[in-house]
Amino acid sequence: MKTLTGDRTALMREVVDGLWDALHTAGVSWVGFYLFEDGDELVLGPSRDKPACSPIGLHGACGQAFKRREPLIVRDVREFGEAYIACDPRDRSEVIVPVFDDSGACWGVLDLDSYDVGSFDQSDVEGLRRVLQAAGLSPP
């Protein structure tokens, strides 16, 4: 992927569109960013290809990845328990990768969902990190 230039929202939109185009036929059901603005919730940023919950609390999978500043792979959302925020009850797995600015502050997360159990693994985390870095949305 070429390095993108421009404002953060435009970069996020390009990443979401590129990931959706590349992965929706491979089982990904949703791609999007959740952004931290203030307080104890995340708000929806650019996303594809269906509506999503917003705002969401930091108790869910995206919030946990954001607070811990570490990627999170949810093999089966049913095993995640009551803390799971189900925007689409058909989703069964997800991968969340926090995004950082140059100072190291976490400003949000990139989230991908799938209707299949076990769709994501560590190689997906690494690939998504490379995409975010190439787009200029997270430092190397």
Q: Is the pLDDT of residue 3 over 60?
A: no
Q: Which domains does the chain have, with CATH numbers?
A: 8-134 (3.30.450.40)
Contact, 62 vs 96, CB < 8 A? yes
Residue 4 has pLDDT above 90, yes or no: no
pLDDT of residue 100: 95
Does residue 93 sit in helix, strand or coil?
strand
Beta-carbon contacts of 84 under 8 Å, excluding residues fewer than 6 positions away, are 60, 61, 74, 77, 78
pLDDT for 6 equals 58
The pTM for the full model equals 0.92
pLDDT of res. 51 = 84
Q: Which residue has the higher pLDDT, 38 or 67?
A: 67
